[in-house]
Amino acid sequence: MATGIKDKVAIIGMGCSKFGERWDMGAEELMVEAFEECIADAGIEKKDIGAAWLGTCFESINVGRSATPLSLTLRLPFIPVTRVENFCATGTEAFRGAVYAVASGAYDICLALGVEKLKDTGYGGLPSFVGSDSGTLTWQWFPNITAPGSFAQLASAYGAKYNVSDRDIKEAIAHVSAKSHANGVKNPKAHLRKAVTKEQIMASPIIAHPLGLFDCCGVSDGAACAIVTTPEIAKKLGKKDLVSVKALQLALSSGEEMGFNDWDGDHFMTTTKASKMAYKEAGITDPRTEISMMEVHDCFSITELVTMEDLHISERGKAWRDVLDGVYDIDGEVPCQVDGGLKCFGHPIGASGLRMIYEMYLQLHGRAGERQLENPAFGLTHNLGGFPAMNVCSISIVGKYE
């Protein structure tokens, strides 16, 4: 019988580049920047790594379709390297590959690295899906779709279902964005490091009603990575106060959302299901009191708000009130986006999932500097790739080794 991943794998090192418009660096230099921090933190040598996973999303404007850019750039010693891609869950997917490889006993020590180079590649924003592997899906299901437009519909559906006024929704999502900006100021690796008031956010130009300019995350370059092993090996390496993986879950849309009328467009079915599986795997029964901190997929501010309900922390229809009451502020019950989130740390797609785990790792080791929380025990990360009607959701929970 399957027993899950809880406490079978420990993280012994992590690294993250500075995120932003890194005009001076290519994807390879970003990989090196993250890896050098990671391997120094782990206290091992490259020869100790048994296998590696590379996560990148838009390969055609980035490093290409194979895994060789990671092995060549880092001069890995002729070991297996696998490239993975799963929309915005790509970084966590690389982490999942490395974790499962160690848990299976196939390898002692594995590396996961995610990278995305989105600036100075010929695109002002994200490239179109048309002409990519998902082009047929785009033409068949999502003609003329835009990311802001589809997530704006999520806000409208949420407001209609729970009778939340347009003003209340805009104020709540402005609070989400203002919180992330305030946290980003405290993070030297964040892309955007400037505080913005709720009034400024609500007065900003509309991108897709009710989402304004400050309700949308930016386009960033960056890389992040992790080195994992078993707790037993970690202890032999002299590691103390281990951070271990408590749960890793992945859920993909089945087509039910698009093909049937049961889904009313106000939530994410994948997150609702993946989070329940993750809590069961981690042994968590009350996430609102047991989860110490979260990094969730705030590609748009409304996404963070709705995710609070899909994670079973806020009651259905009540997340907007919890947001305004400060439940998810850095000094609230369940701090969220302590490092600035996608909104302000940035969103280089292949790196984002690992960047989120990086923040949990720093917090659990008491190394988060000015934004350090008091004695956190469990950290949850959440990625959402695709669109509300068709998406990929990954959940990871990490915590202190028991």
* CATH superfamily assigned to domain 10-124+221-244: Thiolase/Chalcone synthase (3.40.47.10)
Q: Highest-confidence range of 125-129, 201-205, 253-257, by mean pLDDT?
A: 201-205
Is pLDDT at 61 greater than 60 in this prediction? yes
pLDDT at 391: 93
- pLDDT of 131 above 50: no
Q: Are strands 293-295 and 378-387 parallel, antiparallel or unpaired?
A: parallel
**What is the spatial distance between Cα 205 and Cα 397, in angstroms, rounded to a whole number?**
36
Out of 16, 88, 110, 216, the active site residue is 88
Pick the closest to residue 85 from 58, 112, 118 (CA basis).
58
**Chain mean pLDDT for the chain:** 93
Per-residue pLDDT band for 143 (boundaries 50, 70, 90) equals low
* Residue 88: active-site member: yes
- Assess contact for 114 and 383: CB atoms under 8 A: no
Distance, CA of 247 to CA of 396 (rounded, Å)? 5
Name the token pair of 47: 């020869």
The yes-or-no verdict on residue 277 having pLDDT over 70 is: yes
Helix, strand, coil in percent for the chain, rounding step 5: 40, 20, 40
Is residue 198 over pLDDT 90? yes
Instruction: Work out the percent of the chain whose per-residue pLDDT is above 70.
Output: 94
At 308, list the tokens.
């609070």
* Contact in structure between 29 and 304 (CB atoms under 8 Å): no
Cα–Cα distance between 186 and 193 in angstroms, integer?
8
From the candidates 181, 267, 347, 382, which is the catalytic residue?
347
* Pairwise CA distance, residues 84 & 95, whole Å: 10
Q: Position of tokens 């229809």?
A: 317
**Is 209 labeled as catalytic in the residue annotation?**
no
Q: What is the pTM of this model?
A: 0.95
- Higher-scoring residue by pLDDT: 310, 150: 310
Average pLDDT over residues 97-120: 96
CA 282, 288, 291, 297 torsion-angle sign: positive
Cβ atoms 118, 217 nearer than 8 A? no
pLDDT at 141: 53
**Per residue in 284-298, pLDDT tens?**
999 999 999 999 999
pLDDT at residue 218 in the model: 86
Structure tokens at 136: 């047929």
Average of pLDDT values for 91-95?
Answer: 98
Asked if 10-124+221-244 and 145-216+246-400 have one fold, the answer is yes
Average pLDDT over residues 155-171: 97
CA distance 247 to 291: 13
Count of beta carbons in the 10 Å neighbourhood of residue 132: 15
First to last CA, the chain: 22
Sheet strands (E) in 44-133: 51-55, 81-84, 109-116
- Tell the residue number behind the tokens 């106060």, with chain if given: 241
CATH architecture for residues 145-216+246-400: 3-Layer(aba) Sandwich (3.40)
Which of 401, 380, 374, 378 is CA-nearest to residue 290? 378
Query: pLDDT at residue 273 above 60?
Result: yes
Listed by start position, the domains of the chain span 10-124+221-244, 145-216+246-400
